Amino acid sequence: MIDHHLLEYLEDFISEERKARFLEVLETRTKYITVAIEDLFQMHNTSAVIRSCEVFGVQEAHVIEDRYGQELDKNIAMGAEKWVDVIRHDSSKSCIKKLRDSGYKIIATTPHKNDCSLSDFKIDDKIALFFGTERDGLSKEVLDNADGFLKIEMAGFTESLNISVSCAIILQDLTTKLRELDVNWQLTDADKLEKRLDWTKKTIKSIDDILTRYHTLK
């Protein structure tokens, strides 16, 4: 349950421009598409993927840290981790179960399956896009449990793109398609209120002192 009084109280500490920007951005945010990043060895690639999620309006990103658990490189993410919900999992199996239970289709992004090219891909349900390691691609666990496979068409000799580049290309294409569909792809009103409160807290530098003052006043 969102504390509306707290939100109103905290919004007095941020500018009208910032409040308006939050509302504007929230209108383009979605959980209909989400991203799962499987054990990326290079930390800056994970961070760059999070940044792409933020840029293209994907609100949640799932990070699987079975082998190479590391902190996000904040210099690469450029603050994106403040605005995107990063959900961590200790295995691909648990991540897949969590997403399936939440109604997502598991879509493996890989150049090794001749299933569906990006230009032909149709969004007919909530989808979780899985991206694999730079060296080995996606794990057998993900490939065996995928509901579909997605690849980017390529015209050159090189077989694959850097993972962060692939993610950016795919998200730009699919989020554009999504916003043209007649489906409820936007955040719920409750989700929007939750993010307004969360983002407002993250914007205020002395938030701990202000929260203490608020609870004292109550």
Average pLDDT for the chain: 88
> What are the tokens at 72?
């996000």
Q: Judge whether 75 and 116 are in contact, CB under 8 Å.
A: no
Q: Which helix (H) or strand (E) holds 150?
A: strand 148-150
Q: Which helix (H) or strand (E) holds 210?
A: helix 207-217
Q: Which of 60, 54, 55 is nearest to 32 (CA)?
A: 60
Q: From first to last of the 218 residues of the chain, give the pLDDT tens digit.
A: 788 999 999 999 999 999 999 999 999 999 999 999 986 656 677 888 999 999 999 999 999 876 555 555 555 555 678 899 999 898 999 999 999 999 999 999 987 766 789 999 999 999 999 998 766 788 899 999 999 999 888 777 666 678 889 999 999 999 999 999 999 999 999 999 999 999 999 999 999 999 999 888 76
Q: Judge whether 68 and 39 are in contact, CB under 8 Å.
A: yes
Q: Judge whether 44 and 73 are in contact, CB under 8 Å.
A: yes
Q: Judge whether 138 and 159 are in contact, CB under 8 Å.
A: no
- Residues 49 and 76: their CA atoms lie apart, in Å, by 9
Burial status of residue 130 (CB atoms within 10 A of its CB: 0-12, 13-18, 19 or more)? buried
Could you say which of 3.40.1280.10, 3.30.930.10, 3.30.565.10, 3.40.50.720 is the CATH number of the domain covering 30-185?
Answer: 3.40.1280.10
Q: What is the pLDDT of residue 144?
A: 94
**pLDDT tens-place string over residues 123-178:** 999 999 999 876 678 889 999 999 999 988 877 766 667 888 999 999 999 999 99
- Residues 111 and 84: their CA atoms lie apart, in Å, by 27
Domain ranges of the chain: 1-27+189-218, 30-185
CA atoms within 13 A on the CB side of 197: 15
DSSP string, 57-98: TB-EEEEE-SS------HHHHTTHHHHSEEEEES-HHHHHHH
Q: 130 forms bridges with which residues in the sheet?
A: 36, 108
